[in-house]
Amino acid sequence: MRALSGIGVLLSIIFATGTVLTACGGQHTPESVAAPPVQEVEAVPTVSLPATPSTSKALPTPADTPVQPASPTPPPTATIDLTVAVQATQTAAAFPPTPLIVGEEQSTVELIPSETATSEPLPTPMDIYSWTLKVPILMYHYISEPPPGSDIYRVDLSVSPDDFRQQMAFLSENGYTPVDLNTLSLAIVNRATLPEKPVIITFDDGYLDAYENAFPILQEYGFEGTFFIITELIDLKSEGYMSWEMIEEMSRAGQRIESHSKTHPDLTLQSRDSIIYELLGSLETLAAHTGYRPRYLCYPAGRYNDETIAILKELDYWGAVTTMNGTWHGFDDRFEWRRVRIRNTTSITEFGYMLDMEGTLHGKPPSDG
């Protein structure tokens, strides 16, 4: 009985002691109550994106994330995907796409090489579009005797080498100075100074006799000529036409090479795409062989219309010559410049008269502006 009373007293003391400790704030945890392991709580991985892009660089990569053996590790792809996504977003924001600048090297963009030599740039036109100049533009085709049995067109377009030499001698003896179409443009647009008696000597089509007969005579007098080339006929090595080697030689010698289209069609009967093919194709081919960009067109057979002129402007041609007679030229009609046709029957007297005539050939004198 006494033993039972002692056990009751002991249990009362233990119960009272536990109550006091609990009331004091639980500063001691009895061994019989197991607390959750701290290690397991810390081992739960958390991945959070930074609030602002500036702190995103602190996000650890899988290589430097601490490994905690007591906890499961998230799949590597989850961390890698998040890291790459953040870095890609930051890179796109910090380095926006750079627009391609013509002439500036780009490592991932195929650039078009510039020509080895470029034409003198045409200055910005002044407000003097009424300003016109009298500059005869001579028009030649064949510089040879017409073969026996030639039709009337071949005969009419042929000037013998002797007659051509006599005409060049007339220019030299009477103080004429041959210039090119670009010089005329600069004089019209910006009132650049011209020689006292300027003249432009042009040859259509690219015939072989232009190289064999006209070119040596031009060199003899130190004259510059302008040769309008039908490029596909040269590509095909057509009989009676110059070769690219001949054209390149003349270009190196100071003769001007300009466009007469690619295949010599009637441009007024062509679609827009065909016209672009003819004009741009000829331009690019000539540039590849001469090293400079042609700027002027001789209309095939003299045929053109408003659409032809509009496309020439789009392709950055500066002017064009026709087969109509005239000696006065201005800015407003720069795609319709007239010429003086030299025929098989043109005598030296007529030649001199055609150079100096004002009233008979179409055109207009310069204004006082």
SS3 of the chain: helix, strand, coil, percent, to 5: 40, 15, 45
Q: Output the pLDDT for position 131.
A: 74
Q: Which residue type is seen at 176?
A: Y
Q: Which residue type is seen at 50?
A: P
Buried b (16+ CB within 10 A) or exposed e, 340-353: bbbebebeeeebee
- Cβ(190)–Cβ(123) below 8 Å: yes
Q: What span, in angstroms and rounded, lies between the C-alpha atoms of 26 and 4? A: 31
Please check whether residue 196 lies inside any domain of the structure.
Answer: yes
Q: Output the pLDDT for position 132.
A: 87
**What is the span of the domain harbouring residue 234?**
133-257+322-356
List the alpha helices (DSSP H) in 24-137.
38-42, 76-94
Q: What span, in angstroms and rounded, lies between the C-alpha atoms of 53 and 110? A: 34
Task: Note down pLDDT in tens along the chain; length 369 residues.
Answer: 444 455 555 555 555 555 444 444 444 444 444 444 444 444 444 444 444 444 444 444 444 444 444 444 444 444 444 444 444 444 444 444 444 444 444 444 454 544 545 555 554 444 444 478 999 999 999 999 999 999 999 999 999 999 999 999 999 999 999 999 999 999 999 888 899 999 999 999 999 999 999 999 999 999 999 999 999 999 999 999 999 999 999 999 999 999 999 999 999 999 999 999 999 999 999 999 999 999 999 999 999 999 999 999 999 999 999 999 999 999 999 999 999 999 999 999 999 999 986 544 444 444 443
Please check whether residue 347 lies inside any domain of the structure.
Answer: yes
Q: Which residue type is seen at 137?
A: I
Q: Residue 10 in 3-state DSSP?
A: helix
- Cβ(203)–Cβ(227) below 8 Å: yes
Please check whether residue 85 lies inside any domain of the structure.
Answer: no
Q: What span, in angstroms and rounded, lies between the C-alpha atoms of 251 and 246? A: 9
Please check whether residue 292 lies inside any domain of the structure.
Answer: no
Please check whether residue 103 lies inside any domain of the structure.
Answer: no
Please check whether residue 202 lies inside any domain of the structure.
Answer: yes
Instruction: Give, in order, the Cα–Cα distances in Å from 177 to each of 137, 222, 225, 250, 342.
Output: 12, 10, 11, 19, 18
Please check whether residue 297 lies inside any domain of the structure.
Answer: no
CATH number of residue 205's parent domain: 3.20.20.370
Give the global pTM: 0.65
Q: What span, in angstroms and rounded, lies between the C-alpha atoms of 18 and 29? A: 10
Q: Residue 326 in 3-state DSSP?
A: coil
* Tally of domains in the chain: 1
Please check whether residue 35 lies inside any domain of the structure.
Answer: no
Q: What span, in angstroms and rounded, lies between the C-alpha atoms of 291 and 248? A: 9
